[in-house]
Amino acid sequence: MNAVTWVACGLSATGFALGAGLWRARRRYVVVTVEGASMAPTLADGDRVLVRRRRIGQVRRGDVIVLEPPLDPSAPYQPGPPASDGRHWNIKRAAALPGDPLPAGVAGQDGLERVPAGAVVVFGDNPDSIDSRHRGLFPADHILGVALRKLNGPAGSGGLTTEADR
């Protein structure tokens, strides 16, 4: 092989490796823009957040999570279909996970002592947030992932803490 062929092969391999790396990163991470004040003061309207895709077993109490709201906000929790990217996403803090004691004030859950399997309790940091206090339990299979950090704002302000970090 001559030098031109080696260079062409090297560039092709590098391009393929970069493409595969970008594809893998897009499958693991998503950037979400916050709309509204439900997570104020932690997150403000317009903040951009890096989210790592996670399932309920990888979520910790206190994590800021992105999830799809229940399909029927007036109905009590029923397991539903997995979230789809074509729907509206919420960003809230995971307050209680399956098996945890049910926090006071969760709508429509009279008599329930623990969060059932397949459900999660979420609260916005803003007390006026529309969350489990108004909508009850959220389906755990609607979780997109855990917010890792803000991508905008002052340098060093990007980390989002969990209950374990406090």
For the annotated catalytic residues, the residue numbers are 38, 92
Beta-bridge partner residues of 30? 51
Give the C-alpha separation, 28 to 117, whole Å.
25
CA-angle at 56, arms to 54 and 58, nearest 5°: 55
Give the C-alpha separation, 119 to 65, whole Å.
14
48-53 β-sheet, strand order: 29-33, 48-53, 143-150, 64-67, 90-96, 119-123, 138-139
Give the C-alpha separation, 62 to 116, whole Å.
18
